[in-house]
């Protein structure tokens, strides 16, 4: 039946994956609109349970993914290319970074770049830190760097590495199920493989819907702050419709024309905006604080990586860290395949350094500039950010409250609104393109109506939640994403195992290291006692360090200093003297060495030992 419907609609995809994913999305949207209280209540209770009892699971996973990636970069597997061995990078370094930035981090920095530091500055997560102090400021920026920088990209990089390896090295379909080929074999095309792809597709839609929803909240807040428009769910739904429509236009233009062009515009505008904030504010204070915050982040990283708020209010962990990690893992399949596609031809080492290093460094600079500037406003300026953002809970409006303290507000507000809009349009178009590839199982041409469906589905999920949640839209999005992200997090744990197994299958194992084999050494007295009793019993022993000359390393660069190696080096002219005496070099050297070592025909006591004693 699904095949007939598929053909009737003129689609070119995998019917089971496409239609079951679509069914879940439509059912969720309809039920949320029809039964908002029960639906949001179910996700609220489920997220409370996960945050209370399984927050550690998310924390441990993010840290484990980061350590795994470090191992991959440092190990011999770091030389493996994501693609054929002779492939070359498809995009230049700046273009590669720009596309990663636009797809994965830009929209988050615009929304949380000020809101999160000012929240942690007013309500420090670490017990014993006083609010509003320099220590609270440094902790706030370090925590934000962790959430929006290093560990976020570690979570995104694991699926990206799997896509890069299994799609472009093993040439399997661009699906999450392909990463399980070492375990499932041909089963990646069966029910289990399809179930994995349906789960990750649905999760990606929800992850992208949260991103677009945050963008709608922020745009609505900016319009309300600047132009007095109402801050309501219906208006946010209209904003979502506009973002979706613009995303469709970019999407239908293709990656090289639409997404790449928007990505380049994004990065230029973002950098220009950051420079404006730096130059228009207290530049020296901001620069000093940014540099200091990087050192503080590095010093506190081990503690933050496993921080579970054991002796504090665990709700903070759920509202921030667990939400971030669940959100990241939900849209990790989308970002992962996108990053893998633009990373073809790079080695795993280049991939890890680039994906973890470049965006994290940019995030540290961004959060440092905007975080320190917001602290300067609170400590040395007019203040008011803590009151509006933290006390009143206006997180979506944090950026515009911040801009009110800078010159040229009418101009900068319009530029920032445009920048936010472009960021979320890029999210829509790249997300729809990737999800279509996952559903199809290939990256060839497909009917445009399929990509249109995925773009609309993102907007549909987002609009349905914001329309019924009202002022609690942000909380509702957080609860849903924490629940949806849990099973996908389990899959990510398994992906680590799968990619390691595949690399060992394709690259093979290193041969056992060949080393010298040494004889067991006995004390001289014990050796003599045993030799006197039974000479054969000491054939496997020695009184001095001695190795088997038939063993040794494959490439020998140093020879151990032992009696036998000194004996092997004849003295100058020794061979000629020995040849003239007619005794040969071997016997003379052996007798001399025996006398020196006390192991030959006569020991320290002057009496015969060994076989001589028996004769």
Q: What is the 3-state secondary structure (H, E, C) of 295-334?
A: HHHHHHHHHHHCCCCCCCCCHHHHHHHHHHHHHHHHHHHH
Checking 446-449 for CB contacts under 8 A at 24+ apart, the result is 446/12, 446/13, 447/10, 447/11, 447/12, 448/252, 449/9, 449/10, 449/11
Give the pLDDT band of residue 569 (cuts 50, 70, 90). low
Residue 613: predicted pLDDT: 42
Residues whose CB is less than 8 angstroms from the CB of residue 89 and which lie 6 or more positions away in sequence, other chains included? 96, 343, 344, 345, 346
Name the band, by pLDDT with cuts 50, 70 and 90, for residue 72: very high
Question: Rounded mean pLDDT of the chain?
Answer: 84
Q: What is the pLDDT of residue 519?
A: 84
Q: Is 92 within 8 Å of 401 (Cβ atoms)?
A: no
Tell me how long the chain is: 615
How far is residue 289's CA from residue 137's CA, in Å, rounded to a whole number? 9
CB atoms inside a 10 Å sphere around CB 386: 19
Alpha carbon distance 2, 19 (integer Å): 8
Confidence of residue 257 (pLDDT cuts 50, 70, 90): low
pLDDT for res 121: 95
Q: Decide if 591 contacts 555 (C-beta within 8 A).
A: no
> Which helix (H) or strand (E) is 351 found in, with range?
helix 348-352
Of 494, 439, 552, 589, the closest CA to residue 12 belongs to 439
Determine the straight-line distance between the first and last CA of the chain, rounded to whole angstroms: 98
User: For residues 293-317, b (16+ Cβ closer than 10 Å) or e, as one string?
Assistant: bbebbeebbeebbebebeeeebebb
pLDDT at 495: 95
CA gap 294, 138 in Å, rounded: 9
Q: Which helix (H) or strand (E) holds 541?
A: strand 541-542
Residues 357-369 have a mean pLDDT of 91
Dig out the tokens for 476 from the structure: 């509702």
79-100 average pLDDT score: 84
CB 389, CB 398: distance < 8 Å? yes
pLDDT confidence bin for 258, thresholds 50/70/90: low
Contact 398, 118 (CB under 8 A): yes
The rounded Cα 217 to chain-centroid distance in angstroms is 27
d(Cα 542, Cα 535) in Å, to the nearest integer? 12
Nearest to 541 by CA among 610, 590, 614, 612: 610
521's enclosing H/E stretch is strand 520-521
Question: Residue with structure tokens 């007095």?
Answer: 228
Q: What is the pLDDT of residue 213?
A: 85
Report the 10 Å Cβ neighbour count for 565: 14
Q: Identify the three-state secondary structure at position 518.
A: strand
Coil, helix or strand at residue 347: strand
Contact 449, 11 (CB under 8 A): yes
Is residue 52's pLDDT more than 70?
A: yes
Q: Do the Cβ atoms of 117 and 140 come closer than 8 Å? A: yes
Domains in the chain and their CATH numbers?
2-505 (1.20.1740), 520-614 (no CATH)
Structure tokens at 388: 């509006």
Q: What whole-number distance in Å separates Cα of residue 74 and Cα of residue 224?
A: 50
Rounded distance, CA 151 to CA 132, Å?
A: 26
- Residues 433-485 have pLDDT tens digits of 888 888 988 877 788 889 889 989 988 888 888 888 766 776 887 888 889 89
pLDDT at site 575: 45
pLDDT at 334: 81
Residue 271 has pLDDT above 80, yes or no: yes
What's the rounded Cα separation, in Å, for the pair 587 and 121? 84
Q: What is the pLDDT of residue 251?
A: 72
The whole-number pLDDT of residue 164 equals 92
pTM (two decimals): 0.82
> CA–CA separation, 273 vs 47, rounded Å?
36
Main-chain phi, psi angles of 402, to 5 degrees:
-65, -45
């Amino acid at each position: 039946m699904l095949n007939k419907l598929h053909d009737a609609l003129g689609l070119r995809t995998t019917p089971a994956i496409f239609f079951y994913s679509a069914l879940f999305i439509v059912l969720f949207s309809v039920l949320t609109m029809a039964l908002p209280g029960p639906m949001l209540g179910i996700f609220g209770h489920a997220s409370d349970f996960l945050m209370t009892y399984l927050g550690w699971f998310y924390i441990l996973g993010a840290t484990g993914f980061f350590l795994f990636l470090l191992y991959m970069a440092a190990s011999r597997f770091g030389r493996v290319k994501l693609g054929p061995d002779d492939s070359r990078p498809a995009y230049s370094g700046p273009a590669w970074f720009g596309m990663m930035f636009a797809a994965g981090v830009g929209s988050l920095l615009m929304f949380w770049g000020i809101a999160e530091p000012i929240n942690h500055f007013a309500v420090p997560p670490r017990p014993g830190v006083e609010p509003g102090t320099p220590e609270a400021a440094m902790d706030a920026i370090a925590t934000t760097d962790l959430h929006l920088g290093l560990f976020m990209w570690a979570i995104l990089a694991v699926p990206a590495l799997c896509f890069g390896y299994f799609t472009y090295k093993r040439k399997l379909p661009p699906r999450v199920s392909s990463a399980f080929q070492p375990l499932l074999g041909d089963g990646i095309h069966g029910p289990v493989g399809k179930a994995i792809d349906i789960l990750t597709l649905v999760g990606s839609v929800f992850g992208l819907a949260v991103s677009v929803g945050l963008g709608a909240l922020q745009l609505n807040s900016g319009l309300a702050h600047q132009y007095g428009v109402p801050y309501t769910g219906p208006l946010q739904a209209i904003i979502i419709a506009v973002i979706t429509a613009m995303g469709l236009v970019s999407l239908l233009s293709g990656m090289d024309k639409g997404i790449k062009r928007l990505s380049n515009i994004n990065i230029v505008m973002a950098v220009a905006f950051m420079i404006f904030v730096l130059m228009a504010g207290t530049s020296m204070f901001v620069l000093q604080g940014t540099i200091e915050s990087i050192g503080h982040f590095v010093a506190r990283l081990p503690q933050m990586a496993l921080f579970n708020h054991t002796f504090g209010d665990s709700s903070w962990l759920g509202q921030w860290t667990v939400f971030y990690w669940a959100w990241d893992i939900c849209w990790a399949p989308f970002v992962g395949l996108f990053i893998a596609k633009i990373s073809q031809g790079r080695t795993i080492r280049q991939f890890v350094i680039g994906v973890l290093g470049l965006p994290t460094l940019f995030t540290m600079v961004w959060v440092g500039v905007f975080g320190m500037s917001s602290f300067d406003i609170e400590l040395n300026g007019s203040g008011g950010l803590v009151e509006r953002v933290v006390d009143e809970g206006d997180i979506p409006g944090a950026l515009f409250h911040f801009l009110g303290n800078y010159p040229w507000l009418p101009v900068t507000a319009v530029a920032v609104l445009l920048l936010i809009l472009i960021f979320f349009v890029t999210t829509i178009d790249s997300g729809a393109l990737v999800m279509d590839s996952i559903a199809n199982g290939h990256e060839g041409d497909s009917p445009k109506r399929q990509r249109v469906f995925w773009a609309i589905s993102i907007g549909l999920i987002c609009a349905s939640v914001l329309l019924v949640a009202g002022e609690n839209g942000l909380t509702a999005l957080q609860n849903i994403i924490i629940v949806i992200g849990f099973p996908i997090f389990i899959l990510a744990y398994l992906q680590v195992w799968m990619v390691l197994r595949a690399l060992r299958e394709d690259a093979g194992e290193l041969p056992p290291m060949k080393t010298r084999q040494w004889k067991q050494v006995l004390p001289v007295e014990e050796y003599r006692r045993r030799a006197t009793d039974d000479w054969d019993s000491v054939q496997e022993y020695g009184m001095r360090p001695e190795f088997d000359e038939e063993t040794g390393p494959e490439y020998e660069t140093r020879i151990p200093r032992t009696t036998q190696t000194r004996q092997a080096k004849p003295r100058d002219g020794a061979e000629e003297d020995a040849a003239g005496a007619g005794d040969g070099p071997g016997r003379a050297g052996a007798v001399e060495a025996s006398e020196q070592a006390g192991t030959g025909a006569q020991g320290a006591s002057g009496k015969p030992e060994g076989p001589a004693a028996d004769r």
